[in-house]
Structure 1
Amino acid sequence: MDPLAGLLSGPRARQAFLLRALLDPPWSMRVQDQAPLTLVVMVRGDAWVLPERGEPRPLRAGDVALFRGPEPYVVTDHPDTPPQVVIHPGQRCTTPTGESLSQAMDLGVRSWGTNPQGQVVMLVGTYPEVGAVGALLLDALPALVVLPGAALDSPLVPLLGAEAQREDPGQEVVLDRLLDLLVVMSLRTWFARPDTATPPWYAAQDDPVVGKALRLLQNAPARPWTVARLAAECGVSRAALARRFTELVGEPPMAFLAGWRLALAADLLAEPGATVASVATRVGYASPFALSTAFKRVRGLSPREHQRRTAAEQSGAAGATPGG
């Protein structure tokens, strides 16, 4: 597993919130749902994004935007249009004064807005959580990423739009997977741009030695790794690996492994039926006590407290309904 795959694997890719927004001008929405990741595809028409901090950005038909929460932002037909709709946590939708819009803007299956034939059509996919592994990647993103439509010429966009209007068996799983693919392709496209400042550990994946070492640590965290053993697997000396790894990744191999193990542990603890003992074994800790000690030292709460908090957050996300 690399960080990009880890972002959307396991429970983090389930129960994503997806809808089509169909709107006629003037329209303006303030989004303050605190979601860690939201994708918006401009299917038809144009829009503006007003970040909480930063300059307004235009969105043209075909463009893809990624929003890294939890900061609020406004999506609007024009920067001067005041917000008419507020999107709250749990995708609750109200007027700026608090009146519910759950019925007034419901346009049918995963469709929401002011007019079923709206001049503006947007696909909106929101992840209520991305997990600890995903946070490693999201922390490297700016608050707003805009990809021109020409940069992401993908058949996934019309396919996702068509599937969003269907209610077949297993449809939620289909939509989650399509949304995952579109997000991964968008992130890959963004990080491949020459003007994008990629995090050191992401760029190091292309190095023939350090990239191999990273994949070994990421794919087999439970192995009893030492720098010497890792260097032998990579075919270089211990000193050469330690020097080059630290230079490219920004921290020594064992420090990276410790952080990776704890990030994986945080995500695995959220899986149904997970125990501290089973997770400790899977990520390379000698005992549940060793995992608990490290987890609390770094994250400020015990694994069991983390499980309870995550379960409560997932329960709230599962209860979210479009515009509710």
Structure 2
Amino acid sequence: MDVLAGMLDGPRARGAFAIRSVMSPPWSMLIRDQAPLTVVAVVHGEVWVLPRDTPAVRLRAGDVAVARGPDPYVVADDPATPPRIVIHPGQVCTTLSGASLAAQMDLGVRTWGNQRDGATAPPTTMLTGTYQQHSEVSRRLLDALPALAVIRADDWDCPLVPMLAQEIGRDDPGQAAVLDRLLDLLLVTALRAWFARPDTDAPPWWRANGDPVVGHALRLLHNHPERPWTIAALAAATGVSRASFARRFASLVGEPPIAFLTGWRLTLAADLLQEPAATVGAVARQVGYGSPFALSTAFRRRYGVSPQQYRARAHGDRADQPPSDGRPADAPG
């Protein structure tokens, strides 16, 4: 499991909330859902996205944007249109004064908006996927993203947006699983396209994945953190000398192999500790520490609290969140 796979399939990963919005101008939404990651794909029309601290960006049909939370931002038909709708945590949607819009803007299965018969202008249609779970694994990737990463329709050949648009309004058996996988595939494809751009400041470990030696070592560390790795063992597994491997890894990744491994182990441990049935001993074994004490010592050095304190705090934070079965109370469909 590498960082990108871990963000979607790791111990803290959960399916995203997916919805289609059909909006007739004028419209503007203040997004305050505090979600770590949101994917927006424009199907028809155009959309303006206004991050808090960066210039407004216009999206046209076929464009995909990845918005990194939790800072609020505005999505609108025009930068000058003031917000009239607020999206809160749990995807609860209200007016600026707090009145619910769930019934008023329900347009059918997973479809929401202000489009009604008799509208004078063509509506804008966009697909939104919101990843609502916080994760230390995903943080390693999200920290490398800007507030808004935009992939233009002309910059890639991706059939996923029309496919997702076709599937999102269906209510067939297993549809939630279909949407989860399509949305995940769209996100992975978009992130790959973004980090492949020459002008993107991708993290060193991302670019190092393409190196035949260091990339192989990274996959070994990601997939098997529980093994007792040493520089000599990694060098042997990648077919180079110990000194050559250590130099090459540090040069491409930006830190020595064992330092990288320690960081990855503790990142995984932080997510695993948030699982209800996890114990410190079991987590220690899963991430390659010989004892709960060894994990606790390293964990406290990294996070400033013991594993038990970290888990208690995470469970307390979850208890403060509104309950959800994957379809928030104010969501249509």
Q: In which range does the TM-score fall when normalised by the shorter chain?
A: over 0.9
Alignment of 1:77-96 (within 5 A): 77-96=77-96
User: Structure 1 287/2 Cα, relative in aligned 2: closer, same or farther at 3 Å?
Assistant: same
**1:306 Cα deviation after fit:** 3.4
For the Cα contact (< 8 Å) 2:12–2:274, is it kept in 1? no
Preserved contact between residue 21 and residue 111 of structure 1 (Cα < 8 Å): yes
Task: For 1:130 and 1:78, locate their aligned partners in 2 and report how far apart those are by CA, in whole Å.
Answer: 31
Q: How does 1:118-197 map to 2 (within 5 A)?
A: 119-197=123-201
Residues 1:3 and 2:3 are matched in the alignment = yes
**Matches for 1:206-221 after TM superposition, within 5 Å:** 206-221=210-225
- Structure 2: where are the runs of 5+ without partners? none
Equivalence for 1:226: 230
Alignment check: 8 A CA contact 2:21 2:125 kept:
yes
Q: After the TM superposition, which of the residue ranges 90-99 and 67-76 deviates more from structure 2?
A: 90-99
Offset, 1:215: 1.3
Structure 2 residue 279 is the aligned partner of structure 1 residue 275: yes
Structure 1 residue 290: Cα displacement: 1.7
Provide the C-alpha distance between the structure 1 equivalents of 2:187 and 2:47, rounded to a whole number of angstroms: 20
**2:267 aligned residue:** 263
Instruction: Say yes or no: does 1:321 pair with 2:325.
Output: no
Amino acid corresponding to residue 14 of structure 2 in structure 1: R
Distance 1:159 1:202, change over 3 A: same
User: Post-superposition shift, 1:167?
Assistant: 2.3
- The alignment-based identity, stated in percent, is 60
Secondary structure of 2:138's counterpart equals helix
CA distance in 2, matches of 1:309, 1:144: 30
Name the TM-score, length of structure 2 as normaliser.
0.91
Q: Does 1:306 align with 2:306?
A: no
Residues 15 and 318, structure 1, Cα contact 8 Å, conserved in 2: no
Larger displacement relative to structure 2 (242-251 or 108-117): 108-117
Which stretch shows the higher mean deviation, 13-22 or 149-158? 149-158
Q: SS of 1:42's equivalent?
A: strand
The question of whether the paired residues in 2 share the 8 Å contact of 1:14 and 1:176 is answered with no
Shift in Å, 1:61: 0.9
Is the 1:15–1:317 Cα contact (8 Å) retained in structure 2? no
Contact 1:262 1:295 in 2 (8 A): yes
- Name whichever of 183-192 and 115-124 sits farther off: 115-124
**Shift of residue 182, structure 1, vs aligned partner:** 0.6
Separation of aligned partners in 2, 1:60 and 1:204: 33
Q: Which runs of 5+ in 1 are unaligned?
A: none
Q: Which amino acid aligns with 1:70?
A: P
Counterpart amino acid of 1:249?
V
**Contact 2:289–2:295 (CA under 8 A) maintained in structure 1:** yes
Structure 1 residues 301, 169: CA separation in 2 closer, same or farther (over 3 Å shift)? farther
Task: Describe how 1:4-43 pairs up with structure 2 within 5 A.
Answer: 4-43=4-43
Q: CA separation in 1, counterparts of 2:167 and 2:181?
A: 11
1:59-98 to 2 correspondence within 5 Å? 59-98=59-98
Partner Cα distance (1:76, 1:258) in 2? 43
Q: Secondary structure at the match of 1:318?
A: coil
CA distance in 2 between counterparts of 1:303 and 1:263 reads 12
